[in-house]
Amino acid sequence: MKHLTAVFGVAVLASGLAFAQSSGNFSASGTAAACAIGGGGVLSGGFAHQLLETQISTSSGSGVTLDIRPDLVTGLFTDTKLNNQTTSSSADIGITVCVTVDGSGAGILPTNCVNYDERFQQISSQLFTQVTTCGASPVCTINSDCLTGDTCYNPSGAAGGGTCIGTPTATVCASTADCTAASLPNDICAAGVCAPTAAASCNFDLILSTLSAHSFDFVVQVDNKKKHVVDVTWAPTGLAANNTGSSGTAWCVGPGIVTVTQEKLFNNSGALLTF
């Protein structure tokens, strides 16, 4: 029995396994690009092309079978936020991995597409409807008229002519219209920068970021005496209707590698079964 090894792509692997009553070869393709969780839980990095491709030549005889194994690190990001205007928010994001051989998913067992990850996140509360200070931004003359930590923005100086605001953001503005386009709907332009009003500062924000490593075996019988092209692709999934309220999602993939091993099925080895 001969066990031939051929390596393709950027990953260097060697197969030292010996399969009883089998012969064939091995190929691989991979990427070292890695996902990372950064500030605020935001995902960065990963592999942008959504494709790993490798080729494998098959031997003569019947029963030629490919064992295709995509190993991927995946990242998911979900952000759901509540405020006095939004009482429920949800987010749905996932990553589906698909395998094709010579451009087709036919005959791949147990299926040619698998969900490596999916997350549904939801948050809801009636809290802010019970808190009167979140209903509208209080008017003020001096800082003590506002809640602790808020500031009275009162450019006119008139009694009761100010607005209680939270910590200003870094968004530069000329008018409040610049803030509503770039930030929360009830931000105002205060001294040239956007700032949340006291109503806007009443909120609840839930962020989840996850990195995971996954592996799955796809098996397919193929024609012999020819070179086959194996493609592995991935794409974000999730039900769009589940993304409601003030929410955000993101995803990434990497590092990753796809390995393909050729095996031979003999009569006494049984058949390829799926349940």
Are residues 209 and 254 located together in one domain of the fold? yes
Cα separations (Å) of 60 from 34, 68, 207, 227, 229? 39, 19, 54, 12, 17
Query: From CA 52, how far away is CA 227, in angstroms rounded?
Result: 17
106 and 220 fall within a common domain: yes
43 lies in some domain: yes
180 and 51 part of one domain: no
Domain count, the chain: 2
> Is residue 16 in a domain?
no
pLDDT on residue 127: 73
Are 92 and 208 contained in the same domain?
Answer: yes
> Which residues, in sequence order, are bridge partners of residue 190?
193
State the pTM of this model.
Answer: 0.66
| 195 assigned to some structural domain | yes
Please check whether residues 247 and 171 belong to one and the same domain.
Answer: no
Ranges of residues in the chain whose predicted pLDDT is under 50: 1-22, 268
Closest to 68 in 3D by CA, of 48, 34, 98: 98
What is the span of the domain harbouring residue 172?
A: 136-201
In a domain, 186, yes or no: yes
| pLDDT reported for residue 167 | 81
Per-residue confidence (pLDDT) for residue 184, from 0 to 100 = 52
Q: Which two tokens stand for residue 178?
A: 């610049």
Whether residues 151 and 107 share a domain: the answer is no
Question: What pLDDT is attached to residue 259?
Answer: 95
Last residue of a domain, one of 172, 201, 230: 201
- 36, 163, 170, 171, 205 from 179: Cα distances, Å: 30, 15, 11, 8, 20
Same domain, 158 and 59: no
CA dihedral sign of residues 157, 160, 161, 165: positive
- Residues 79, 93 contacting (CB under 8 angstroms): no
